[in-house]
Amino acid sequence: MSQPRVLLVTSEAVPLVKTGGLADVIGALGASLSSLNVDVTILMPGYPAALEQARNLKKISDLPGLPGGDAELMQGVMPDTGVKVLLVRSPLFSSRTANPYVDKNGKELDDNAVAFASLSHAAVRVCAGRTDYPVPHVVHANDWHAGLIAALMKVQGVTGVGTALTIHNLAFQGNFPLEHATEIGIPSDMITAEGMEFWGKMSYLKAGIAWSDRITTVSKTYAEEILGELGYGMQDILNRRKDVLSAIPNGVDLDTWNPSSDALIKRNFSLDNMSGKTVCKRELQRLFNLPLQPFTPVLALGSRITHQKMADVVLAALPQLLQEHPHFQVVIHGCGEPQYEEQFNQLAKDYPERVGVHIGYDEQRAHALHAGADILLHPTRFEPFGLTPIYSMLYGTIPVASCVGGLCDTVVDAGQGDDMVEGATGVLFKGEEASHLSDAVGRALALYARPTVWQTMQRNAMSCDFSWTSPAMAYIQLYASIAPVNARPFFLELLKELMKPKASKSMVTPSPLKMTA
């Protein structure tokens, strides 16, 4: 049987470059598809960090005349998984640092429109057979950075390759001035209300929504939300195309996020032996300069410190919570908007024995936070999926999270009464007021005070299956639906093989949206 070929196009992927959850998803999805016998290749910009870390790099093709100038196509493999990778080496990407979208002051780079158009053009050349790389059967674009692919394939008459777009976060849309259209190869008849015109600009994400064969997003609830109040102005086109919109939840890289094997935590532990979590809690308290108190509940906030993540609400709620509940500690790890960072630092000065703050991000502290905390606080105004609460659950740290998006699908609320809901893994709350958050934290602290109940929640959380196998199989099924006729049997035969009991117990099907207009 011939292997089905898939090209994953992205702006970032672990471990080459990471600014957020997209990188985690692509790195893990690529590895999982490869393990299931899909011939998968990740295509992304040739940032300096990516060129430095990818292994066995060699130039395979020139890419003359891309928007912004000539480029080269480099082939290699990912350093951790061996998944094949293509890097677009171009002057447009050569000076980009850890965050490849903004300058050192956090301002969006002026050449983003041209740079990421070049990425899409490079993908189309691969799909058209105009490089020395095998033509994929399906090209899978991720977020706005790759959103032009389906439109450019239509413009250039490239057929015989299925196109999929995954929306990881609809709030980021790649909206740019119309004067770039000619430079990036977009004809005027595509810049319409039905096409990629968006409030007097052109939107790369809207282009992907308009012309891709299939559209997915990363949780069922989020897929429903973006058709309405969380549509960020794209409700109309999403509703027009909802017959090709489905939801495939993300998985988690269990080689990286596994308390029994995690090399970044102080001591490993598992469901069968939780003693290591006590050691990790002591280490977390030490890292954040808090008193080493094993029986004091530790509440952790580990996310971007932004308005979206309700930093303002957390700051409004914490002082009263600290007064009402004198026996818990708080650790905060993240970075974001300066005014919120300053207020969290001030809170640590006001409560030096109870609040520890580290502004910034490092992987070891992130792992220590999930392993050592008792409660993860994860408020957010919207959340397409929500990897952070899943990481916490895998480590027996119970999430207190907003009931939005993917969080509604992955966290089982404990309920309001004395009897905990069967299968509960966390506490969910609705609303954006300080009182809503405070009440939820109060519920969690009350549950913590009941050791038998708390341990049951920990077991429930740590027993959840968040592996990538079922989501990857759902993607394979989606690819089969859009692959060219001559390649569809490759995907279907693979699915048939994977569905045998020895290969997999279950399969996740992309969730169709059954909604009224």
Instruction: Identify the pLDDT of residue 1.
Output: 58
**Tokens, residue 385:** 């999926």
Residue 456 backbone phi and psi in degrees, to 5 = -65, -45
**398-417 pLDDT, tens digit each:** 999 999 999 999 999 999 87
Q: What is the DSSP letter of 332?
A: E
Q: Is the pLDDT of residue 510 over 60?
A: no
pLDDT mean across residues, the chain = 94
How large is the average pLDDT for residues 230-253? 96
What sign does the CA torsion over 515, 404, 473, 227 have? positive
CATH architecture of 275-462: 3-Layer(aba) Sandwich (3.40)
The two tokens of residue 127 are 């799909």
In the Cβ-directed half-sphere of 402, how many Cα atoms lie within 13 Å?
Answer: 24
Q: Which pLDDT score is estimated for 504?
A: 41
**Beta strand segments in 235-385, E:** 245-247, 298-302, 329-334, 355-359, 375-378
388 vs 376: CA distance, rounded Å: 9
Which whole number is the average pLDDT over 374-403? Answer: 97
**Residue 347: helix, strand or coil by DSSP?**
helix
> Tell me, what amino acid is at 216?
T
CA distance linking residue 279 with residue 416, whole number of Å: 31
275-462: same fold as 5-251?
yes
pLDDT digits (tens, 9 = 90+) for 106-115: 889 999 999 9
Helices 434-448, 451-462: inter-axial angle, 10-degree rounding: 100
- Residue 516 confidence (pLDDT): 34
- Give the pLDDT band (50/70/90) at residue 514: very low
pLDDT band at 505 (very low <50, low <70, confident <90, very high): very low
Pairing assessment for the beta strands 298-302 and 375-378 based on DSSP bridges: parallel
Percent of the chain with pLDDT over 70: 97
Taking CB atoms within 8 Å and a gap of at least 24, the contacts of 292-297 are 293/329, 296/327, 296/328, 296/329, 297/327, 297/328, 297/329, 297/374, 297/375, 297/445, 297/448
Predicted local confidence at residue 369, as pLDDT: 98
So what's the pLDDT on residue 517? 28
CB neighbour list of residue 246: distance below 8 Å, 6 or more residues apart: 214, 215, 216, 223, 478, 510, 511, 512, 513
> What DSSP string runs through 26-72?
HHHHHHHHHHTT-EEEEEEE--HHHHHHSEEEEEEEEEEEETTEEEE
Q: What pLDDT, in 10s, does the model give residues 215-225?
A: 999 999 999 99
Counting residues of the chain whose pLDDT is more than 90, the rounded percentage is 90
**pLDDT category, 21, cuts 50, 70, 90?**
confident
The predicted-structure confidence for 58-85, as pLDDT tens digits, reads as follows 999 999 999 989 999 999 999 999 999 9
* pLDDT tens profile 120-138: 999 999 999 999 999 999 9
CATH architecture under which domain 5-251 falls: 3-Layer(aba) Sandwich (3.40)
> What's the rounded mean pLDDT across residues 156-166?
98
Give me the residue spans of the domains in the chain.
5-251, 275-462
- What radius of gyration do the chain's Cα atoms show? 23
pTM of the complete model = 0.90
Q: Cα(262)–Cα(182) distance, rounded to whole angstroms?
A: 50
**Which residues are within 8 A (CB) of 438 and not within 5 positions of it... i.e. 6 or more apart?**
317, 320, 321, 324
What pLDDT is recorded for position 417?
A: 79
Q: Which amino acid is at 443?
A: R
* Contact of 377 with 441, CB cutoff 8 Å: yes
Tell me the sheet residues that pair with 356: 331
The yes-or-no verdict on residue 512 having pLDDT over 70 is no
- Which among 108, 98, 138, 115 is positioned nearest to 9, based on CA atoms? 138
- Residues 57, 187: Cα–Cα separation, whole Å: 35
Tell me the pLDDT tens digit for each residue of 267-301: 999 999 999 999 999 999 999 999 999 999 999 99
Separation of first and last alpha carbons in the chain: 43
